[in-house]
Every structure is written in structure tokens, then in C-alpha cells.
């Protein structure tokens, strides 16, 4: 009974670890601590095109999922049988768990995004991809503000 409880706790802890990696506000209006009190260039323009995109999970998220899945699968597999059979089941469980963990982390890390093509007031046309915000839907012809800080930019309604 104790082994079942510890395995269940490990599964729950791994799930919390994987889901805890996401930001509470992942949209284009979320700022990190390093972005505060910094000067940003501001440009004004008009949305030319807004296309939905999928933002894929980072490799780091998949690595964490693979390791957690392999650990859980190995633990569960080691509880099957005894002797050599237990070792084989642990290896098989680790491989299957690693694959399942990687797939789950990849799916959990995918987010909805939007590819915005913008014509700036000076005539230049740029494109910016940012996470979609259901409270900030962009439409062609909509005036926007583009905030640029180094290589990073975000688009907000004007």
C-alpha cells in the first residue's frame, strides 16, 4: 500500500511541476521583471493582416516531461514481477514513460498565437508573432501601438 501511495504522489508532483512552468499571464501584455523601468521605442501603425499561429513548446519543457515520464514509468515498471522480469519491466516502463512525458509536455506547452502584419506610419511593413489574448483581438485596419525593446516587441491596441 505504501508503494502505491508514493508512486501516486510522484505522479501528482510531476504534473504540478510541468503545469507550474506556465506564466499566470502569458499574453502580449505580460511583462517580466527585467522589462520594467526600461525605455522602449514606440511606433504607430495599422494592422494589415492577423493570422492565427501555434507557438510550440520549448525544448526545455520537453526535456522536463521526458525525464519526469521516464522516472514515473521506471518506478511503475519496477513494481511488476521480480528479478530479471522486474528489471526488464522497469526499462520498458522508463522508455514508454519518457516518450509519453515528452508528448504530454509538448502538447501542454503549445499556445495559441497571432502573426500580426503591420504597416507603420512611415510606410515600413513589419510582422510580429505574439501569444493570442482573447481580450485583445486584432482586425485588419485596426490602429495599433508597437512597443520595441531591443529585439523584443509587443503589439497593443491604440
29 touches 133 (CB < 8 A): yes
Tell whether 3 is covered by a domain: no
Q: What is the pLDDT of residues 104-124, one digit of tens each?
A: 655 556 889 999 999 999 999
**C-alpha cell of residue 31:** 511583462
Tell whether 83 is covered by a domain: no
Predicted local distance difference test score (pLDDT) of residue 86? 62
Q: How far is CA 94 from the centre of its chain?
A: 24
Helix (H, G, I), strand (E, B) or coil at 39: coil
Tell whether 129 is covered by a domain: yes
Higher-scoring residue by pLDDT: 105, 128: 128
Q: What is the pLDDT of residues 62-88, one digit of tens each?
A: 566 567 666 666 666 666 655 666 666
Tell whether 87 is covered by a domain: no
Predicted local distance difference test score (pLDDT) of residue 13? 46
Tell whether 132 is covered by a domain: yes
- Total number of domains constituting the chain: 1
Instruction: Give the span between the Cα atoms of 147 and 64, in whole angstroms.
Output: 33
Tell whether 32 is covered by a domain: no
The enclosing H or E element of 32 equals none
Q: What is the pLDDT of residues 16-68, one digit of tens each?
A: 444 444 444 545 566 777 778 789 999 999 999 999 999 886 655 556 656 76
Q: By C-alpha distance, which of 131, 152, 154 is closest to 23?
A: 131
Query: Residue 144 pLDDT more than 80?
Result: yes
Higher-scoring residue by pLDDT: 65, 147: 147
Predicted local distance difference test score (pLDDT) of residue 36? 80
Tell whether 69 is covered by a domain: yes
CATH number of the domain encompassing residue 54: 2.40.50
53 touches 127 (CB < 8 A): no
Tell whether 134 is covered by a domain: yes
Domain extent for 140: 40-73+107-157
Pick from 4-18, 42-56, 141-155: least confident = 4-18
Distance in angstroms between the alpha carbons of the first and the last residue of the chain = 60
pTM of the predicted model as reported, rounded to 2 decimal places: 0.53
Helical segments of the chain, H only = 2-19, 59-78, 84-108
Amino acid at each position: 500500500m505504501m508503494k502505491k501511495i508514493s508512486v501516486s504522489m510522484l505522479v501528482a508532483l510531476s504534473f504540478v511541476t510541468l503545469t507550474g512552468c506556465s506564466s499566470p499571464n502569458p499574453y502580449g501584455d505580460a511583462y517580466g521583471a527585467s522589462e520594467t523601468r526600461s525605455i522602449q521605442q514606440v511606433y504607430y501603425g495599422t494592422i494589415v493582416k492577423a493570422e492565427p499561429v501555434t507557438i510550440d513548446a520549448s525544448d526545455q519543457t520537453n526535456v522536463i516531461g521526458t525525464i519526469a515520464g521516464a522516472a514515473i514509468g521506471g518506478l511503475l515498471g519496477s513494481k511488476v514481477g521480480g528479478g530479471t522480469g522486474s528489471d526488464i519491466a522497469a526499462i520498458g516502463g522508463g522508455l514508454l514513460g519518457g516518450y509519453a512525458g515528452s508528448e504530454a509536455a509538448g502538447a501542454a506547452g503549445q499556445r495559441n498565437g497571432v502573426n500580426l502584419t503591420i504597416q507603420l506610419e512611415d510606410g515600413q511593413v513589419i510582422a510580429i508573432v505574439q501569444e493570442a489574448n482573447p481580450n485583445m483581438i486584432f482586425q485588419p485596419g485596426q490602429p495599433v501601438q508597437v512597443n520595441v525593446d531591443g529585439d523584443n516587441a509587443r503589439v497593443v491596441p491604440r
